[in-house]
Structure 1
Amino acid sequence: MLDEIGMTNFKAFSRQVVPLAPFTLLTGLNSSGKSTVLQSLGLLRQSYEAGLLDESDDSCGFLLNGEFVELGTGQDVRHNTYVRHRSNDVDDRIISLQVVAGGRSFEWSAEYGQEDDLLRLVPDSQQSTSPLPPELRPLFGRGFQYLKADRITPAVSYPRSHEAAVRRGFLGARGEHTVNFLRANQDSVVEAQGLRLPDAPSGNLLTLTDAWMQRLCPGVNLQVHGIDGTDSVRLSYGFGSTFTADNRYRPTNVGFGLTYALPIVVACLAAQPDSLILLENPEAHLHPQGQTWLAYLAVAAVGAGAQVIMETHSDHVLNGLRIAVKNNLVPAGRTAVHYFRRHELATEMVSPEMNSDGMLSDWPSGFFDEWENSLEQLLD
């Protein structure tokens, strides 16, 4: 499990350390730094996959544009104000990312280049990732999933990539390989008891995907199959008590919510020990009940051994986590809640502690207080 992520001179942060738990919830106003936390991990992952974190020459560095993040150039990722890195002997234009995992610290530092989209590592700043240290397997291993806010939308067909969905077990940063992953693994048994629902007739992946999707839309069921002679797969929805509902619908005739949430559901159900799941705004296009159930699903994935870092604007997601803590589905000590707010060029992080009854130690101004503020005006 990752214990913390540190960022220096990176986007919203001059210098910030973010403690991580098995379930970490990131929230705050827009442009306050929540996405920066996830993007820092995505940047490390895509730089690692490109072989750019463990080289001994000047070709290694942070790959700013790739499969997980598209950050532009150095001027887009450098923080507005510089801070010194380690000591006054080091150029203050250094951009640094640090990961603490299993009691070990790993840090990569790169030189700022205004127009560069590959920020070259500072000499001697490389951390050995070959062979892969076991502490970094959640970040650099097979169980990594990063589902961004702009996920797949309803379509007639989806890509059929054996390399992504089968060999790598990757859903795609937009969830574009989810349907093919589900097609290839639909009969795989989900071992974690917490991910199984009592009304699911079996414990295979497709059946449990149906069961959890029914928490978002009662009665829905899915079918996935390959389209012969093409590199595409097809998804369809049915409504009714049986899997063989006569009338089936294309995603384009069902709406955004179900298809948008499907990668989230599959990522959590496919979670294994040492998986790392990064989720941006999983609540998008879902009604409040569905948002709460997504929190319950993420908690179940944590129970299966995964680490979940979730960015959200939803008080229903937050309350779902609080209820799960109160109902002993996840210990309070295995959760972290961070609220980000911006003061001019600086970003501040406030971290209320979760108590065993689901109550929070602090409720800072701007932290999911809009309902209370609106109610106060209505009653005035």
Structure 2
Amino acid sequence: MTLAQISGFRHTVPHPALRCRLARRQHTGDNPAIAELRTGCWRYLVRVKSIKADNFKSLVKFEVDLPKFCCLTGLNGSGKSTVLQFIDFAAQQVRGNIENWLRLRGWKAKDVLSKLTSSKVVTFGLTFQQSNDHDLIWTATFDPHSLTCVNETIRSTAAQAEYPILLQVAKGNYRLIGRPDDQPIEFQYQGSILSALLDDKLPEQLRDMKGFLGSTESLDMLTPERLRDRVREAKGSLGLGGRNLSAFLADAGVDKTEALSQKLRTAYPQLTDITVKSLRSGWKQLQIAEQFGGKSLLTEAQHINDGTLRLLAIFAELASKHGFLVFDEIENGINPELIEMVVKNLSTAPQQVLLTTHSPMILNYLDDQQAKESVIFLYRTKDGFTQAKPLFEIPSLSEKLKVMGPGEAFADTDLRRLSEEITGIKPGDG
């Protein structure tokens, strides 16, 4: 028997979003309401319930609960983009190839470490809510020098679980549920050991966790320039900054592209079709067709306006099989008249959605209860650490919400003073 057979190690790791099993046993315990929240690829996993991070950039002793739809707000420099980067960092752990992830972002390994502490590792934890009302808790320590999680534990909170610890990595050994002994790690990988273990060697709960988190699509660097790129293939992802949009739509097929066209017509009635043209050597070029006074116009991606491209990327993701979608400053480049449509679609999406915003307009389209549950305020302590608090649990905002809508209450608030209200810091205090 080879080492690969013993350990479940594989040399190539396909994108987790492509690993959805074609057949499912009937899960008699499924709650239909919860089932609607899933994308259909993961039997047990519903969402990331909470995150903890220590020593990832400004995230020091950071923790926050994440509702299914979550909106982060706060001052510039409060750490909103850093939280999105951390989510993508955690997702990359189960995909492996951390080196390439760093290269695409233009980072060095040491850049993930906080400059506010002397620690040389990142420790983090994610809690996953399952459809059976039990949680999976994953804790890990990432070493930038080796680009691996040198310690990992994944455990279930199910009281009746025969083996509450599903996976453990420590001191160069690992143990999977159902195996009596520790096994030495005699193979190379980057990120989590999950990136190097064959799915069929994992219990289904771990497969689902790996698939769900690995299918995270982070659009924190979405730019019109990248959305206009011609590319050959998407590999199941919009790619960094949305650069794979044309190939992503080509892979979606005619039916989904037509559904996307219908969705965009509510914003742009003149739009008649979205097409992807195949060029020489396999390059894909995005085009849209429009009708003006009986005259048809075909526009290539290079000349499509920024807002249309952003809407196209957002709605393409909402039609995808990705389980967790992450957007930075969702309102950028989109007409105010269209924000309501965007917020409605994001807040009712089957996927888990995390976004950042500076705009009170986003909050205008949330009802009071939804705003209480979904809007998180980020701020920096006097030590520079990013911390989080539900916006409408802050006393002054809670009072305003009694007489104002969420957007009005937010617009009527000085965010700097709000940070002071939480931390007790006054301007000039050290």
Q: Normalised by the size of structure 2, how large is the TM-score?
A: 0.62
Q: 1:367 to 1:159 in 2, by over 3 A?
A: farther
- In 2, Cα distance between equivalents of 1:245 and 1:182: 25
- Gap regions ≥5 residues in structure 2: 1-46, 130-134, 152-168, 175-191, 394-400, 419-430
Asked if 1 retains the 8 angstrom alpha-carbon contact of 2:140 and 2:149, the reply is no
How far apart are 1:353 and its partner, in Å? Answer: 4.4
Letter in 2 for 1:145: E
Identity %: 17
Aligned residues: 311
Is 1:252 matched with 2:326? Answer: no
Match of 1:240 in 2: 291
Letter in 2 for 1:231: G
Match of 1:267 in 2: 317
How far apart are 1:238 and its partner, in Å? Answer: 2.8
Is 1:298 matched with 2:336? Answer: no
- In 2, Cα distance between equivalents of 1:347 and 1:252: 38
Counterparts of 1:94-109 in structure 2 under 5 Å?
94-102=121-129, 103-109=135-141
Matched position secondary structure for 2:223: coil
Q: 1:368 to 1:221 in 2, by over 3 A?
A: farther
Match of 1:78 in 2: 113
Counterparts of 1:1-380 in structure 2 under 5 Å?
1-50=47-96, 63=99, 65-66=101-102, 69-74=105-110, 76-82=111-117, 92-102=119-129, 103-111=135-143, 116=145, 118=147, 121-122=150-151, 124=170, 129=194, 130=197, 131=202, 132-140=206-214, 142=215, 144-153=216-225, 158-161=230-233, 164=235, 169-188=236-255, 205-240=256-291, 246-271=296-321, 275-301=323-349, 305-320=350-365, 322=366, 325=367, 332=370, 335-344=373-382, 345-353=384-392, 359=406, 365-366=414-415
- In 1, Cα distance between equivalents of 2:407 and 2:334: 25
Name whichever structure is richer in helix by fraction: 2
Matched position secondary structure for 1:13: coil
How far apart are 1:107 and its partner, in Å? Answer: 1.2
Q: 1:362 to 1:19 in 2, by over 3 A?
A: farther
Asked if 2 retains the 8 angstrom alpha-carbon contact of 1:261 and 1:282, the reply is no
Larger Rg: 2
How far apart are 1:24 and its partner, in Å? Answer: 0.7
Letter in 2 for 1:101: F
Superposed CA offset, 1:45-102 (max 9, x none): 2232226xxxxxxxxxx6584477443231x32223338xxxxxxxx54311211102
How far apart are 1:360 and its partner, in Å? Answer: 8.5
Letter in 2 for 1:262: L
Asked if 1 retains the 8 angstrom alpha-carbon contact of 2:378 and 2:387, the reply is yes
How far apart are 1:293 and its partner, in Å? Answer: 2.0
Matched position secondary structure for 2:281: coil
